[in-house]
Structure 1
Amino acid sequence: MPDALRVAAMDCGTNSLRLLVTDVRGEEKRDVVREMRVVRLGQGVDETGRFHPDALDRTLAVTREFGELATVLGAQRIRFCATSAARDAENADELNDGVESILGVRPEVLTGEDEARASFLGATRSTSGSALVVDIGGGSTELVVGADGDVQWSHSFDVGSVRLTERFLPSDPVSIDEVTALEAYLDGLLVPQVSSLEPVSTLVGVAGTITTVAAHALELPSYDSSAIHGARISVDDMRTACLSLLRMSVADRRALPFMHPGRADVIGAGAMILDAVLDAVPLATDTVTVSEHDILDGIAWGAAGL
């Protein structure tokens, strides 16, 4: 892409660290590489309020790997954004200082509102019309309503697959009492915020929890981004897939051909969040559109100044 700006975007979440190197020119974007590593930065943060030393070591090691790759690929700008776990950790400066020493740029710790906006723009920049974007992460979940690139309403909930697994679902497989307690918690959190929304006619699901549930609903023989991106899956099929994943043991989830091994132990809680959202949000559609474009793409657009 002639005269394009090559940027490297890094999204440091509670469970994973992801890299996107992409060429941006005007409203065009052409991806060069996408990478993801499960680093579990949020290990124990919900309980202790601090990053565990091992989690920091894992995250900084992958940051170094991604920084070297970005340099080899000729990235002209690097943007590193951290989300839920970095908002909560008392020792977040240990992460920030470490990243800055490796990349030469200081991480941006996104607020819940910033995270919601980046997710919405990443998922919908090339589309028109109104939509609700659902982004379930390891530490938080963002719901965003907007149209044609403009955010009209958003809310960030402190519920994510890692946080809720540690808090509510310690057993393997999960017990009925654990599931009941988490269902009640999610209903009490979500319903007051979303029940007054106008019925949603387009619902877009992004990020690893939702794409993994989609892979299960589609019964994919392996994780296939091309099959997942843009897939329109019935709400009923997504909810059935959520329940199926929740009931499995971690070993059975790990044996699924599309399952990333670093997601197997927390996907049950993530699936419960998605199921609760689909139950609580007023829907004027019976399908979920799944997108592989998400907050990482929003970070990249921001790195390019757009």
Structure 2
Amino acid sequence: MNRVAAVDCGTNSIRLLIAEPGPDGGLAELDRRTEVVRLGQGVDATGEFHPDALARTFAATDAYAALIRDAGVPSSRIRFVATSASRDARNREVFFAGIRERLGVTPEVISGDTEAQLSFVGALSRVAPAAEPVLVVDIGGGSTELIVGSAAGAVTSAISLDIGSVRLTERFLSAHPPAADAVAAATAHVDALLDTTGIDFAAVGTWIGVAGTATTLAGVHLGLEHYDRERVHGSVIALPDLRELFGRLLGSTVEQIRALPSMHPGRADVVTAGTLIAVRVAERLRVDGWLVSESDILDGTALDLLRRTDPTGPR
């Protein structure tokens, strides 16, 4: 039984995918879970994990450990990747010890470049871009990855920027609705970092969005009363609709945002900041819309793990 378990722990959420090789050479998903734990709470300001954030993350990991055991996945086939918040926290050894105790593996704090590569592979595993080059944007809680490559999966450039929905909220947009000068400062900060990427945004043929900001916005855009992963996957948000949605979020309180169709309550206070990043990317593009993929770094991690543990497995 060649099953694997991939855990992706970011600044805002911790996610689990249990999978095995699929008949098409890809993944056969057995279980997928997401918990918003806000591990990165205050890390940008203090440089350390907050005890409450660690407690939330460990509780979610306990639940995941039980699911992994029930699926019969040994520790040798578990990969726990940790991203932006774990790269920044001084007390990350406390986090590592807690995860080792629960899963029997040490979290792998991946670099921004590795995060970008895994996100690109995952994003393209279940969507077919209509034009090249392909730009995959992964807006996380603490960082944003921008990956350019071909439809066949070859990456030509990968950039990780220290802007994300949680980080940007804590620095600039903690008030809801935010003041105009705060929005202007956040926009200038995002623009300054995007200007350093060297990406030829105008040449991009397909723009794909992965992770919580993109999928949450797709659910709201579609007007889903309850989040539906299959309907979100492969949906397209036209750029005028993205700008209109951003305007709605800017003028809303957290309670009003939380009440939007399919909005995850744990994302309501940070989705405006994530949308600002998306809009600033959109302003540089000449594409018609934002293609949303439910397959992302978690799928890329599981695929990579299957290839490591079974050389004859999916390619």
Measured against the shorter chain, the TM-score band is over 0.9
- Check the 8 A contact 1:17/1:39 in 2, yes or no: yes
**6, 10, 23: which one pairs with 1:9?**
6
Corresponding letter in the other structure for 2:67: L
**TM-score, with structure 2 as normaliser:** 0.91
Query: For 1:214-240, what per-residue CA distance to the aligned partner results, in whole angstroms no more than 9, with x for missing partners?
Result: 122222222111111011221221222
Matching of residues 100-179 of structure 1 within 5 Å: 100-126=100-126, 127=128, 130-147=133-150, 148-179=152-183
**Runs of 4 or more off by more than 3 Å in structure 1?**
126-130, 194-198
Aligned length: 301
**59, 68, 71: which one pairs with 1:70?**
68
Q: Counterpart in 1 of 2:92?
A: 92
Q: For residues 198 and 234 of structure 1, do their structure 2 counterparts lie closer, same or farther at Cα, with a shift above 3 Å needed?
A: closer
Which consecutive unaligned segments of at least 5 residues does structure 1 have?
none
User: 1:159, CA displacement in angstroms?
Assistant: 0.4
- Check the 8 A contact 2:220/2:261 in 1, yes or no: no
Report percent identity of matched pairs. 49
- Check the 8 A contact 2:219/2:261 in 1, yes or no: no
- Check the 8 A contact 1:45/1:89 in 2, yes or no: yes
- Aligned-CA RMSD value: 1.6
User: 1:135, CA displacement in angstroms?
Assistant: 0.4
Q: Counterpart in 2 of 1:293?
A: 295
**TM-score, with structure 1 as normaliser:** 0.94
Q: Counterpart in 2 of 1:182?
A: 186
User: 1:195, CA displacement in angstroms?
Assistant: 5.3
User: 1:288, CA displacement in angstroms?
Assistant: 1.3
User: 1:248, CA displacement in angstroms?
Assistant: 1.2
- Check the 8 A contact 2:82/2:109 in 1, yes or no: yes
Query: For 1:90-132, what per-residue CA distance to the aligned partner results, in whole angstroms no more than 9, with x for missing partners?
Result: 1111111110111111111010001000100001135476411
Which consecutive unaligned segments of at least 5 residues does structure 2 have?
309-315
Separation in structure 1 between the aligned mates of residue 302 and residue 7 of structure 2, nearest angstrom? 8
Separation in structure 1 between the aligned mates of residue 153 and residue 117 of structure 2, nearest angstrom? 9
**13, 16, 19: which one pairs with 1:19?**
16
User: 1:19, CA displacement in angstroms?
Assistant: 0.5
SS at match of 2:138: strand
- Check the 8 A contact 2:246/2:275 in 1, yes or no: yes
Corresponding letter in the other structure for 1:32: L
Separation in structure 1 between the aligned mates of residue 198 and residue 268 of structure 2, nearest angstrom? 29
SS at match of 1:36: strand
User: 1:51, CA displacement in angstroms?
Assistant: 0.6
